[in-house]
Chain A
Amino acid sequence: MSWWSKLLSLPWLMMICAALLVLIGALALYSASEGAWSPWAEQHLIRAGIGAVLMLVMGFLPLRWISRMAPLALLAGILVLLALPFIGTGSGATRWISLGPLNLQPSEPIKVALVLVLAKYFASRTWDQFDSFMTYLPALVLVAVPVALVLMQPDLGTALMMGIGGLSMLFLAGLPRRWIVLGLIAGLASLPLAWSQLYDYQKARVLTFLNPGQDALGAGYQITQSKIALGSGGLFGKGFLMGSQSQLDYLPEKQTDFVFTMIGEEFGLIGNLAVLLIYFVMMGSVLFVGIRCENRFGRLLCGGLSMMLFLYVFVNVAMVTGLMPVVGAPLPLISYGGTAMLTVFLALGLTMNVSLNLDKDDTQII
C-alpha cells in the first residue's frame, strides 16, 4: 500500500469525533471551574495531547507485535491488580497506583488487554471448534480472573463493564444460542447470592437507585441533584457558565462522573443529544472498521473495543440520568480523569492499526 492510500484508509471520522469530544470536554471543564482554564480544562487538553501521541504509536506498531505482547500485558495487569491492596491508594477502595505525579487506575487499560487477548485466542481457534463449549471455557476464565480482582477492590462499576465487555467477546466469537440462554438464566438465579456479597454502601446505592426519594439527603442526593440539573436544562439549556446547579456546587463530581449532567444543564437536550451522537458515530466507525476487516483478529478486536466504548458511555449516562445505580464511571474524553481517556486513545490506536491491516490473513498477524 502506498503511504497515500494508507493515509486515506485511516478511520478519520473516528478521530474527528474523538477530537470533538475532547474539545467539548475542555469547554465543560472550563465551566466546571466557573470559567477558568485551571485546574481542569488545561490539564485535560494536555492529557488529550499525550493520548493522541499514544494513539499514533499504537496505530503504527506492527500488529503482529502487539498481538504477541497482549498476553504479557494482561498478565502484568493481573499481577498489578493482585498487588494493589499493598501498593495502591484511594479512599475506601484501593483502585489507584501512584507513579510519581501520575495516578493510574490499572483496571482501565486491562480492559483493552483483555479484549486483545480474547481476540487473539478466538482468532487462533480452527473453524470446527466454535460449536464446542470447551472452546469458550478458557475465555470465560480469562474474563473471570480480572473481573474477580476488580470486584475485590471493590469497584463494582468497572467489574461490571469488564465482565459485560468480555462476555460480549464470547458472543461475537459465536457462542451457541443455547449457551447464551442458559447463561442468562444462571445469571438471574445467582442474583440473590451476588446481593449477599455486596458491601453495605453498594447495597445502599442499589436501594437508593430503586427509590431515590426515600433518602434524598443521603445516598440519593447525587442522583436527585443530577436529575434536577438535567431536567432544569430543558431543550436548550441555561447557557454556558449559567448552570445554577453546577455553578452553585449542588452538583457533586461535576468535573468527573457528572460532567454529562453539567452539559445537560447548560446546553439542554440539544447539547446532550449532540454529545451522544458523536459518541455513537465514533463507536460505529470502530465497529465499521471491524466489519470491513478480513481477518478474525481485527474483526473481534474492533467489535470488542466498540463494545468497551459503548459501555463507558452507556453506564455513565444511564447513571447520571437515574437509569442505573451510581457506580462511579467516567465519561471518557470529556470527564476529567486521565486513565479512562488514555484507555480510549489506546483503543482508538488499535482500531487505526486494524484499519491499516484490513486485508491481511490471521496467520500474518497472530
Chain B
Amino acid sequence: MAKRRKEIRDVETRLTRRMFLLGGGQLVLGTVLAGRLYQLQIAQGDTYQKLSDRNQFDTRLVPAPRGRVLDRKQRLLVGNSEVFELNIIPARIGDLRQLLGQVARLVTLSDEDITRVLEEVAAKPEFVEITIRSDLTQRELSRLAVRSPALPGVVFQKGFRRLYPQGSLFSHIAGYVSPVTAAEVDEDRLLRRLPGLQTGKVGLEKAQEQALRGEIGVQRLEVNALGKPVRLLNDRLARSGKDIQLTIDLDLQSYAAKRLQQGNSEAVPVSDPAVQRALSRDAQLRSHFASGDQLVLRNSKGVLTPPESGAAMVMDVETGAVRAMVSLPGFDPNQFAGRLRERDWQRLNQHPRTPLLKRTIAGLYSPGSTFKMAVLAAALEAGVVTSKTQYFCNGHFEFGDRKFYCWREGGHGAVNGRQAIAQSCDVYFYQVALKTGINRIHALASRLGLGDISGLGLPGEKIGILPTREWKMARRGTVWTPGETVIAGIGQGFVLATPAQLAVMAARIANGKKQVTARLLESDLDAGEAFAPLGINAGILNEIRRSMRLVMAGALGTARNYDLTESQMAGKTGTVQVKRISKAQREEGIIDNLDRPWKERDHALFVGYAPYKKPRYAVSVVVEHGGSGSSMAAPIARDLLDFALRGDRA
C-alpha cells in the first residue's frame, strides 16, 4: 500500500519536474532568440545599416504620367512632357551645404531653391528623396552626368511635367497641378515618396484627380555584395492615369475667346508705334499686356485699350454638352506646372482684372434684363397677367417714395409682355414683378436653373442668389420689402447669377421639356442620366420664346441688328448698371459708356439660342463693363452661335 502511494507520487512529481523542464527549455531557447537579436542588431548592426542604406538608394519610384485631357474631337488640351529631375537623398550625404555648393556650380540654383531644400530636408525622413530642381536643361544634365561619381547622394530621375499646350485658353476649365501639399500627404502617405509629384489644385485637374493621377510604379535595382547592379526589377509597373475627353470643341473655344476678347474694337499690331508709345506711358495697359495674351485694342473712339474681360458659354440644348466655356482674362497654367516664379505670381495677383477668377462658374453678375423671361413666365403661370395684358410706360414707375426709371427716358407707351421683352421695358416688369411676388418668381426661375449649380462638376462653382422672403430673413434678418421685388423684376437688386447658369437657363427655355444641366465630360453624356422634366407649361414657354424671337426680329427689338443671316435666333439683351445714377446726373443727361471710367461702365449681357425653330445651341455672354447688351454682347453671341452651327454643317 505504501509502495503504491509512493509510485503515485512518483508519477505526479515526474509531471511537475517535466513541467519545470519544459519551462526551462523554453527559457533557454528564448535566450537563444535574444542572443540572435543581439548578434543581428548590435554586433552586426553597422553592416546591416549599410545594406539598408543601399537598399533605399537603389529603390526608385517611377512616376506615372497623368491622364491627358482631350477635346470632343480628341485634340490635346492637357498633356505631359518629359523632364529630368535632380534629386538628393539626405541619408547618403555628409555635408549638405557643401554638396549644394558643388551642385550650384554645375546647375542654376537660386538662394530660394537652397532655402527650400534645407527646409525640406529638415522636415522629412532622411531616406526620402528631395527634389532640388525639376526641370534640368540638356546642358545641365550632361554637366551633372560627368561629375556624378563625385556627388554621392545625388540622383536624376525622369519625370513628367504637366503641359498645357493651349495656354490660357483652358486655364479655367483644366485648372492646374502643383507640388503636393502637406495636407494631401496627411491624407495619402504614398504621395510623400515621389518628390516631383504634382497634384491637381484647381479645375478639372482637381475634380478628376483620382482618375488622372494613375499609379506610381516601383523599380528596384538589385545589387550584389560588391555593390554592382545585377538586374532591374519592376516591382510594380507605373500605370498612367486615365484620359478625359471633354465635350468642348477646341475650334469653337478658341474662336469664342478671341471674339470675346476683341469685343467691338479693332486689334492693333503690337509693332505699331502708337502701341509702343502707349505701353511705355500707360502702366495699366502694360500690366494687362505683360501677363495676358499680348493684345491691344483700339476702340471706336480711337483709344487704345486692353482686351475685354468677361465670360461666354455655348452648350447643346438637348444633351447639355458644353461646346465652349470661356472666362477672360485667363492665365497660363504652365506657370504653375513648373515651380511658380515669384514674379509671375505677383503679376497674376496685381493684374487689374483678377485672371484667377473662374468667371463662367464663379463670377457673380446681376442678370439684369436677361432675368425678365423668368419674371414674365412666373407672372403668366401665376395668372396675374395674360399675353394681352398691357402696362403703360412713361419712363418711370413711382412706388412709395421711390422712383424707378425705365432705361428709355421717354418710356415705351402701352406694352404687353411680348413687347416688353422685345424692347426690354423696365416699367412693365416693375409692375408685373410686384403683382407676382418674389417667391413665385423664385419658384419659376429655379426651374430654369438659377440659384443652383450647373452640373459641370468643377470645383468652386457658385450658386449665386435667387432670393425669397425667407432667404432675406435668414441671411439679413430683415423683412423683404416690396421695393426689392420691384428691382428684382429687372434682374437687379439681390439677384445674382453666373454665366453658366444663364446658359443653362437659355438651354432650358429652348429645350422646353427637360431640366438640361451643363455637361463637361463626354463620359457623362454617355452615362445617359435622364434630366428631370422642366415643369413649365408649353403655352407659357411658347410665349417666352416668341418674345425672345422679337428681340432679334421685331422692329423695335433691342438686338434687331444682330440676327443670324443663315438661320434665325432668339435671345435677350441685358445691360446692368454697376453704379447708381444720381438725380443730378439724370438731369444733366446720362454720359455715354465709353466716356465713363471703365469700372463705371455697364455690364453687357446676352442669352439666347439658335436655330429658333429647332434649337441646337444655347449661349450666354457677359462682357464686363462692356457698355450695352445690345451693341456689345448680342453680336458676340450671334457670332458664337453662327460659328457653332457652321461647324455642324461642315
* Interface residue ranges, A against B (CB under 8 Å): 34-36, 127-128, 130, 168, 171-174, 213, 216-217, 225, 227-235, 242, 244-245, 247-250, 264, 268-269, 272-273, 276, 280, 283-284, 287, 290-291, 296, 299-300, 303, 306-307, 310, 314, 317-318, 321-323
Contacts and interface: CB of A to CB of B under 8 A. Distances in A.
A179 B595 CA distance: 116
A269 B52 contact: no
Interface in B410-433: none
Contacts of B233: 217
A314 B4 CA distance: 40
Interface stretch (B15-23, B113-121, B395-403): B15-23
B48 A287 contact: no
A248 B40 contact: no
B29 interface: yes
A231 B44 contact: yes
Contact of B15 (A296, A306, A318): A296
Interface string B10-54: 011011101110110011011011101110111011011101110
8 contacts: A35-B189, A174-B15, A225-B55, A229-B52, A283-B26, A284-B23, A307-B22, A314-B29
Contacts of A229: 48, 52
Nearest to B29: A314
B45 A249 contact: no
Contacts of B12: 296
A318 B33 contact: yes
A299 B189 contact: no
Contacts of B48: 227-232
A130 B8 CA distance: 10
Given A174-B11, A234-B45, A244-B56, 5 more contacts: A34-B189, A172-B19, A272-B37, A291-B20, A299-B16
Nearest to A272: B37
Contacts of A269: 37-38, 41-42
B82 interface: no
A280 B49 contact: no
A287 B42 CA distance: 32
B539 interface: no
A9 B504 CA distance: 77
B18 A174 contact: yes
Interface of B: 4, 7-8, 11-12, 14-16, 18-20, 22-23, 26-27, 29-30, 32-34, 36-38, 40-42, 44-45, 47-49, 51-53, 55-56, 59, 125, 127, 189-190, 193, 218, 222, 224-225, 230-231, 233, 235
Contacts of B40: 227, 230-231, 321-322
A194 to B, nearest CB: 22
Contacts of A35: 189
User: In this complex, which of B4, B7, B30, B53 has the most chain A Cβ atoms within 10 angstroms of its Cβ?
Assistant: B30
Contact of A273 (B34, B53, B59, B189): B34
Contact of B22 (A228, A268, A303, A323): A303
Nearest to B10: A127
B42 A291 contact: no
B36 A127 contact: no
B15 A235 contact: no
Contacts of B222: 216-217
A245 B52 contact: yes
Nearest to B13: A174
B240 to A, nearest CB: 21
Nearest to B7: A127
Nearest to B51: A228
B526 to A, nearest CB: 33
A280 B27 CA distance: 8
Nearest to B50: A232
Contacts of B34: 273, 276
B52 A228 contact: yes
Contacts of A307: 22, 26
Contacts of B19: 172, 287, 290-291, 299, 303
A37 to B, nearest CB: 12
Contacts of A233: 41, 45
Contacts of A323: 32-33, 36
A280 B26 contact: yes
A29 to B, nearest CB: 14
B342 to A, nearest CB: 34
A321 B127 contact: no
Contact of A231 (B15, B29, B49): B49
Contacts of A306: 22-23, 26
A227 to B, nearest CB: 6
A235 B23 contact: no
Contact of A36 (B20, B189, B218): B189
Nearest to B59: A248
A6 B523 CA distance: 68
A258 to B, nearest CB: 14
Q: Which of B15, B45, B233 counts the most chain A CB atoms within 10 A?
A: B15
Nearest to A294: B12
A299 B327 CA distance: 83
A232 B45 contact: yes
B37 A273 contact: yes
A261 to B, nearest CB: 10
4 closest A-B pairs (Cβ-Cβ)?
A231-B48, A232-B52, A34-B189, A269-B41
A238 B548 CA distance: 74
Nearest to B186: A35
B26 A245 contact: no
B22 to A, nearest CB: 6
B11 A130 contact: yes
A66 B177 CA distance: 65
A250 B59 contact: yes
B336 to A, nearest CB: 28
A14 to B, nearest CB: 14
